[in-house]
Amino acid sequence: MRSLADADIAFGNDAVLFGMGAAKRYPGERLLCLTLGTGLGSVFMDRGRTVSGSDGVPESGMLYAETFEGAPVDGQFGRRGMLALADALQARRQGDDVIDLAAAAARGESAALRVWRTYGERLGRMLRPYVAAFRPDRLILGGQIAKSLPLFGASLSEALLPVRLPVLYEDDLLRLVFYGADMLFD
């Protein structure tokens, strides 16, 4: 037990750790990193350092509690929000989850495609003021919903205009989280 009590232990938000890991890949850049899954996690990075309370970034440095169209962002762009959007557009069969909506869109089903296009457009409109003020070099996405970037990336990018920036999907979110966690001990 003594060795455990003497161990260095650190805690960090998974989205922040994801962003810190991404910043190792792009050390000289400004990044806006989002994790899209159960909810929406986020971090703004500037040359490897987290940013909060300046350059249009919320005081917390995170977007989850910010509001968009009268409701918290976290509930709109994670799983709950995606399913609510699908219900509002009458595009979800009973029991369908986000993965089913992605599969339906991949098969070319127009209702599911409309859900993903609308999701991307809304995400872009929500991000637009932050992107315009912070001016990231890249938008980096991770998480289960982000796997479907091919379904919503075009509408996301269009909604961000006039700002044009690369939107990347990182398929190994956990690796970047571990890179970020490692940086807590530097």
pLDDT band at 45 (very low <50, low <70, confident <90, very high): very high
Q: How confident is the model over 148-176, as a mean pLDDT? A: 92
DSSP string, 144-172: TGGGGHHHHHHHHHHHHTT----EEE-S-
Q: What does the alpha-carbon distance between residue 107 and residue 90 come to, in Å, rounded to a whole number?
A: 17
Q: What percent of the chain has pLDDT over 90?
A: 76
Lowest mean pLDDT among 10-19, 59-68, 70-79, 93-102: 10-19
Q: How confident is the model over 117-135, as a mean pLDDT? A: 97
Q: What does the alpha-carbon distance between residue 83 and residue 144 come to, in Å, rounded to a whole number?
A: 14
Q: Residue 83's pLDDT is what?
A: 96
Element (H, E) at 45: strand 40-46
Would you say residue 121 has pLDDT above 90?
A: yes
Q: How confident is the model over 18-47, as a mean pLDDT? A: 92
Q: Domain residues for 88?
A: 2-183
Q: What does the alpha-carbon distance between residue 163 and residue 153 come to, in Å, rounded to a whole number?
A: 14
Looking up residue 145, the CATH number of its domain turns out to be: 3.30.420.40
80-119 pLDDT, tens per residue? Answer: 999 999 999 999 999 999 999 999 999 999 999 999 999 9
Query: C-alpha angle 120/72/77, rounded to 5°?
Result: 25
Would you say residue 17 has pLDDT above 90?
A: no
Q: What percent of the chain has pLDDT over 70?
A: 90
Within the chain, residue ranges assigned H as helices are 2-6, 14-25, 73-77, 79-88, 98-106, 110-134, 149-160, 173-183
Pairing of the two strands 49-50 and 40-46: antiparallel
The total domain count for the chain is 1
Quote the distance between the C-alpha of residue 157 and its chain's center: 14
Cβ pair 24, 148 in contact under 8 A: no
Q: How confident is the model over 27-42, as a mean pLDDT? A: 94
